[in-house]
Structure 1
Amino acid sequence: MVSFGNTSITIVAVIGIMALVALVVAWFLRGWVLRQHEGTPGMQAIAAAVQEGAQAYLNRQMRTLSVFAVLVFALLFALPGELAVRIGRSVAFLGGALFSAATGYLGMWLAVRANVRVAAAAGSSDGKADGARIAFRTGGVVGMAVVGLGLLGAALALLTFRDKAPAVLEGFGFGAALLAMFMRVGGGIFTKAADVGADLVGKVEVGIPEDDPRNAATIADNVGDNVGDCAGMAADLFESYAVTLVASLILGKAALGEQGLVFPILIAAVGVVVALIGIAATRIKRDEPGLRGINRGFYLSAGIGIVLSAVASYVYLPATFAGLSGLASEVSRQPGDPRLILAAAVVIGVVLAGGILWLTGYYTGTESGPTMRVAASTRTGAATVILSGFGLGLESAAFTAGAIAVAISLCFVLAGGSLWLALFLIAVAGCGVLTTVGVIVAMDTFGPISDNAQGIAEMSGEVHLDAALVLTDLDAVGNTTKAITKGIAIATAVLAATALFGAYNDAVAGGRATLGEGTISDAFVKAMADYSIVAPMTLIGVVLGAATVFLFANLCIDSVTRTASTIVFEVRRQFREIPGIMTGEGRPEYGRVVDICTKASLRELVTPGLLAVTAPMAVGFGLGVGPLAGFLAGSIAAGVLMAVLLSNSGGAWDNAKKIVEDGNYGGKNSKAHEASVIGDTVGDPFKDTAGPAINPLIKVMNLVSVLVAPTAIILSEAPGASQPLRIAIACVAAAIAFGAITNARLRANRAIASADDEVPAR
């Protein structure tokens, strides 16, 4: 039993108060955003339509997901363990899901009100700085909410359950990750189906500009930016925050005892101060590239985070490992200064985030060599655009994975041979990234807001040329910031998943220890030995884990393909059947496209979600905890490569299109432009649906594995174990997964059949 003294209680209570302060700051920032000018009546009318569509979609999505929340609550309560822990874990699941949904909802609600204000601000005397400030501070509201709610949940669990908090917080992290994955998938399908449909008919077939009010899919496209990028990414980063804290607390308790429980939340609390300074200090000047100002704000925040984390380490931790109440005996014998070692782990995480920022900006920025080469390939057609962009994604995935591998290796070097400590240091490195999460969320939200602002300006026709150029510049910056934050989110996901892999070992060790196999430390070492990669069953688990990532990505992209095809047919129909659209005398049926996207995305998000939950259950109960460990390793390795490939390829294709639209290689309405649009539409589901959804996927599968591993051990290894029950659970899980996939294939066949009589536009 780990003690939890008065000093720790006081520290956690103060951190809880800091979390409330972060929420208060978010409220005041929200008020500042809403006080800005809303623009002309025409702008406000378009913004109102976007608000209505986004609100309707998220309301229906929350009703759909509430059913899953109730089912999972019951399943978590049914897992074996102490009654208090089971109740706390189940309630924490609902809390994590609620907080994740709240951050996503807040991100969407404020973004659809900030977009018109950014469009209006672009026409001021310093439009670039004013518009950027509104967009960034809107993201700052969401960033402060992420930090505040994440810290509040962790602090309440620690104060209530003390040393049992990590087990309870497994439910909190699972709820946050599951909701984020559903919101990522559903929002991603909505936004990219509308975007692809609008581009293919509007730009390629009819030859009208993006966001032209004559295109029936434009409102749905702008709605999608908010439910996909704002709501989805806010929920994604919140779950990254929550899951990293969960993994840190589990491993911290095992490695360092009481100090290990408190230190991660102490480092995360540094993020409140960093977010306040970063959001206030970030400025985009009139005479500089927009991305430079945002990068400057991030690097300033990162530096402050490093300094404050080092101070916290030296104030809170003792000078030797012998002074820690660690449960793992090998940790107490470690040489070196824990203050220096843990501070160095934080630095590793922050430097990794900065490195990912640079790498992603290099591969996707409009002024970078790789993206310029993709833009140049538009001169020879769509095929070379796709080939060059896909190759760029492959290269960037290799270098990004290499950077993450170096960071993980440095954590093992710092640990001096202690596996417990190494895994904890990886989790602490993830906490280092969390010190900048408020600024990261602000950077991400900047993208869809600036995109919507440009759309509102173009659809209203009430913005002068100089303001339109400002909005185009901010939109290009926003594309890069979205790609950058996706890269950082991927790095955080890998660190969290690797730490959760250690937490999985801890869960297996705990289950084995209850069977009388010695101490948790002894069982932990034995569990690691059982996961030998040369064991055929473990290798099978590795292959299945990697395959699950590929299948999940396929389901996401295929869902966008089907829904986008429906949108294409609908937009074509409206151009044919509604007279006067092209002359501006007829009004497109915007609501019909929004409704199609809403219904399709809510229907399609079920299959990937079921796969994420049931696949690890089928492996764990069917093959055992050793193959399940291999399954997690395979999913982490394939997940990081696939996520970076999809995100960076899509980002490069998007910005290559903007390079052409700026007048290069023939400009708009040229053959090069048509090729760039094709590349962009291929990249849309890559970067905004499948790629970012892989982040919560690997954490959901890790957390499911952590939760079910003890039960799998009891059913397979305990005296009187029920092998038939274990196999039955595995078969049911596999049947649910295959049934959902089969149903998706049947929907695809029906979609093809229903389109056979469609007359293509001419």
Structure 2
Amino acid sequence: MSALYLAEGGEVTLSSSNLTYIIVAAVIALVALGFAAALVKAVLATGKGTERMQEIAGAVQEGATAYLFRQFKTLGIFVVIAVVLLFLLPVSDTGGNDTTVKIGRSLFFVIGALFSAFIGGAGMAMATRANLRVAAAAREATGGRETAMKIAFRTGGVVGFLTVGLGLLGASIVVLVYKSHAPTVLEGFGFGAALLAMFMRVGGGIFTKAADVGADLVGKVEKGIPEDDPRNAATIADNVGDNVGDCAGMAADLFESYAVTLVAALILGKAAFGEEGLVFPLIVPTIGVLTAIIGVFITRLRKSDRSGLAAINRAFYLSALISAVLVAIATFAYLPNTFDALHDSPLAASTTRNPQVVAIVAVVIGIVLAAVIQAITGYFTETGRRPVQDIGKTSLTGPATVVLAGVSVGFESAVYSAVVIAAGVYGAFLLGGGSITLSLFAVALAGTGLLTTVGVIVAMDTFGPISDNAQGIAEMSGDIDENGARTLTELDAVGNTTKAITKGIAIATAVLAATALFGSYTDTIRTALESANVGTGIDQILNVANPSNLVGLLLGAAVVFLFSGLAINAVSRSAGAVVFEVRRQFREYPGIMDGTQRPEYGKVVDICTRDAQRELMTPGLLAVLAPVAVGFGLGVGPLAAYLAGVVGTGTLMALFLANSGGAWDNAKKLVEDGHFGGKGSDAHAATVIGDTVGDPFKDTAGPAINPLMKVMNLVSLLIAPAIVTWSVGDNKNTPLRITIAVVAALIIVGAVVFSKRKPIAMSEAGEPGVPTDKQARVTA
């Protein structure tokens, strides 16, 4: 008897055994949240260091919390507007009560946004408490290196467990409540997570890099003082930025990767496997929760390890192997070996593939992809590898060659990573054996396989800013010896590499999710065309030789460039304001340099906060409205080509920006460790300049492209039925469609023009100096 059947009233339901599997997944998700709570208690029980350390950490915590609350108030407007629009848009799922599905989609949009905001906020809150404890642990005469590493990584584990726990819990609840309509409702869940993540990534990235660049240019280059010297008015803002950008922003980013990949897997799973397709994509991340727990607790730094990266790599690869084995066992236990034995699989009569083989190989491809991306990124960004050492050597000939070498490393590394990602996508695609639906489901399963390691990946990412902040707190307080300082410098360099690695893996998930969502998009178009009784085939609409589709492709590629340019320019403007403010304080308060006067740290925090909130609007509007303008203006075919342009260009751009920035940062660390002249040398100044160029690359524009791709895919998926409805058939409404496109385009143009008209932090005469009152952003 079919397990997926129509009960009274036409409601689609699931068999009792599969309901049990979903409930178990929800329970395991709650277990992950329980482990997060346990780790919070363990981390907070560790020592907090000296009173001066606690004072500095308190200022960082206060600034980060104030920024995040201000950002959430700003984003609340977008959430309200999006909820209304989601309810008004038609749904592609026509098999049930459309109003109920619309309400569910809007409701879970809010839940996805709240989960994303909570994970970002919780990650930041834990990081601002753990940084102090890591600095304190590094002061221990015996075992300080190992203890500091343990605290930093387990704090990251808190965020990792929250990510996998809330992501799996949300998806499980949707499937339990909405059953076969779950994929449509999950579109809202994924969109809410992705939208919040993008805004938090852009806003946090602008804040952190404006403070970082401003602090480095005045402190290191002009005044010749250390990076986290308390005499620099931008140091507190710099440390605040590490948390709002790298902790809050990246945690939300990886959560939305998790959520959106699940959305794609469930949409395509239903189309390929039937009922089992709604359950198996939940079984895989359930195993990921278990391996996350194992991975976090086996990450221990041994005295024989050359650096913390050895311990992290060992735990990551071991947890990846465990994931592969457990997924294989679960697949053989749950899935049959023929499509005929699946319950109501739409592909039962059209393929002879073995569902077990397809599922296992697809998931393993994702797991292997994560491991290979980690290895490639590590090679191009680790201090002990040739690329970073070569950049360090070029510092002997000045900043120009440092910049050129870093750009070269970024370009080259992007090619290798992109080829590996493409191979993973194509390998999964081949598993379909000619069935597009099965091939795309395999790609989605590869994404879920990659994310079985996401708990460890998030821990790796959060480890970076915690270590960076710990070093800052120790240096600003002065309460640490040479051995402790060496430990924190080592952990900071490891953190730079882990951040680069997690960015690479996040980009890989974005490509896998975008490919799978693209399949969902085309399926949505096909369904809408059939509902409108249009004879035009989907292949004709997506014909690449069609000039309008080529226009869409070019526009998609162009938007990635414009988005990146806006984000980097925003950092440049805000950093200029920070530079002038720090210079002003050094000039007007001469006692700062000899320690008799205290800098006004709050002024720089205010500048970065205000600029971040103002500057994030234009990139955000571009991401949401550009697909609307293209889709309603040119049609669903050009919109599909537009998405292809976004994914292709976005992948290479994001990898280039992330890896070049990471390499520049660690080249600076290499020189600061005493190579090529050490701190205070001309070589050091050259690498600082390279690092400041790379800062907005790796922490603002690069990471933001990841959620950008998924936001655009989800917006396109959501608007596709409306575009088809108003383009063909009895409901054709060309004036309304064109009006929507023109309004969206005008809003984008207006936002970009407004952004370009913002003043650069220069005097009216065009020479460096304190901005005039008319331009005053610095003195606010």
Per the normalisation by structure 1, the TM-score is: 0.97
Aligned mates of 2:350, 2:731 — CA distance in 1: 39
Residue of structure 1 in register with 2:777 after alignment:
none
SS of structure 1 residue aligned to 2:384:
coil
| 2:294 corresponds to which of 261, 277, 286 | 277
What do residues 450-491 of structure 1 show as CA deviations (whole Å, max 9, x unaligned)?
000000000000001111111111111111101111111111
**Residue identity matched to 2:131:** N
- Kept in 1, the 8 Å contact 2:573–2:760? The answer is no
- Kept in 2, the 8 Å contact 1:211–1:455? The answer is yes
Aligned mates of 2:765, 2:654 — CA distance in 1: 32
What do residues 624-648 of structure 1 show as CA deviations (whole Å, max 9, x unaligned)?
0000000000000001000000000
Residue of structure 2 in register with 1:434 after alignment:
451
SS of structure 1 residue aligned to 2:757:
helix
What do residues 156-201 of structure 1 show as CA deviations (whole Å, max 9, x unaligned)?
1001110001000000000000000000000000000000000000
Aligned mates of 2:378, 2:185 — CA distance in 1: 38
- Kept in 1, the 8 Å contact 2:14–2:179? The answer is yes
- Residue 414 of structure 1: CA displacement? 1.5
Aligned mates of 2:18, 2:665 — CA distance in 1: 49
- Kept in 1, the 8 Å contact 2:316–2:456? The answer is yes
Q: 1:259-658 to 2 correspondence within 5 Å?
A: 259-288=276-305, 289-325=307-343, 328-329=346-347, 332-517=349-534, 526-658=537-669
| 2:126 corresponds to which of 105, 110, 114 | 110
Residue of structure 2 in register with 1:96 after alignment:
112
The runs of at least 4 aligned residues of structure 1 exceeding 6 Å deviation read none
| 1:721 corresponds to which of 726, 732, 736 | 732
- Residue 326 of structure 1: CA displacement? 5.2
- Kept in 1, the 8 Å contact 2:32–2:162? The answer is yes
Assess, with a 3 A threshold, how the Cα gap between structure 1 residues 753 and 214 changes in structure 2: closer, same or farther. closer
1:31 and 2:49 aligned: no
- Aligned residues with identical type, % of pairs: 60
- Kept in 2, the 8 Å contact 1:3–1:258? The answer is no
SS of structure 2 residue aligned to 1:335:
coil
1:134 and 2:113 aligned: no
**Residue identity matched to 1:103:** I
Residue of structure 2 in register with 1:22 after alignment:
32
- Kept in 2, the 8 Å contact 1:193–1:563? The answer is yes
| 1:157 corresponds to which of 166, 174, 179 | 174
Cα RMSD (Å) of the superposition?
1.4
1:175 and 2:185 aligned: no
Equivalent residue pairs, number: 753
Aligned mates of 1:306, 1:15 — CA distance in 2: 18
| 2:208 corresponds to which of 168, 172, 191 | 191
**Residue identity matched to 1:380:** T
Q: 1:235-250 to 2 correspondence within 5 Å?
A: 235-250=252-267
- Residue 750 of structure 1: CA displacement? 5.8
| 2:679 corresponds to which of 660, 668, 672 | 668
- Residue 676 of structure 1: CA displacement? 0.3
Aligned mates of 2:296, 2:765 — CA distance in 1: 49
Aligned mates of 2:454, 2:337 — CA distance in 1: 29
**Residue identity matched to 1:456:** I
Assess, with a 3 A threshold, how the Cα gap between structure 1 residues 326 and 537 changes in structure 2: closer, same or farther. farther
Aligned mates of 1:681, 1:171 — CA distance in 2: 38
Residue of structure 2 in register with 1:43 after alignment:
53
**Residue identity matched to 1:94:** V
SS of structure 2 residue aligned to 1:108:
helix
1:702 and 2:713 aligned: yes
- Kept in 2, the 8 Å contact 1:505–1:528? The answer is no
SS of structure 2 residue aligned to 1:99:
helix
- Residue 80 of structure 1: CA displacement? 2.2
Aligned mates of 1:726, 1:391 — CA distance in 2: 44
SS of structure 2 residue aligned to 1:334:
coil
What do residues 488-518 of structure 1 show as CA deviations (whole Å, max 9, x unaligned)?
1111111011111111112111211211359
- Residue 432 of structure 1: CA displacement? 0.2
Residue of structure 1 in register with 2:774 after alignment:
none
- Residue 529 of structure 1: CA displacement? 4.0
Aligned mates of 2:441, 2:767 — CA distance in 1: 59
**Residue identity matched to 2:659:** N
- Residue 758 of structure 1: CA displacement? 4.5
| 1:63 corresponds to which of 50, 59, 73 | 73
- Kept in 1, the 8 Å contact 2:534–2:729? The answer is no
Residue of structure 1 in register with 2:90 after alignment:
80
Assess, with a 3 A threshold, how the Cα gap between structure 1 residues 273 and 678 changes in structure 2: closer, same or farther. same
SS of structure 2 residue aligned to 1:210:
coil
- Kept in 1, the 8 Å contact 2:217–2:579? The answer is yes
**Residue identity matched to 1:563:** S
**Residue identity matched to 2:744:** A
Aligned mates of 2:294, 2:765 — CA distance in 1: 54
Residue of structure 1 in register with 2:248 after alignment:
231
- Residue 736 of structure 1: CA displacement? 1.0
- Kept in 1, the 8 Å contact 2:138–2:145? The answer is yes
- Residue 757 of structure 1: CA displacement? 6.2
Long gaps (5+) in structure 1: none
- Residue 599 of structure 1: CA displacement? 0.5
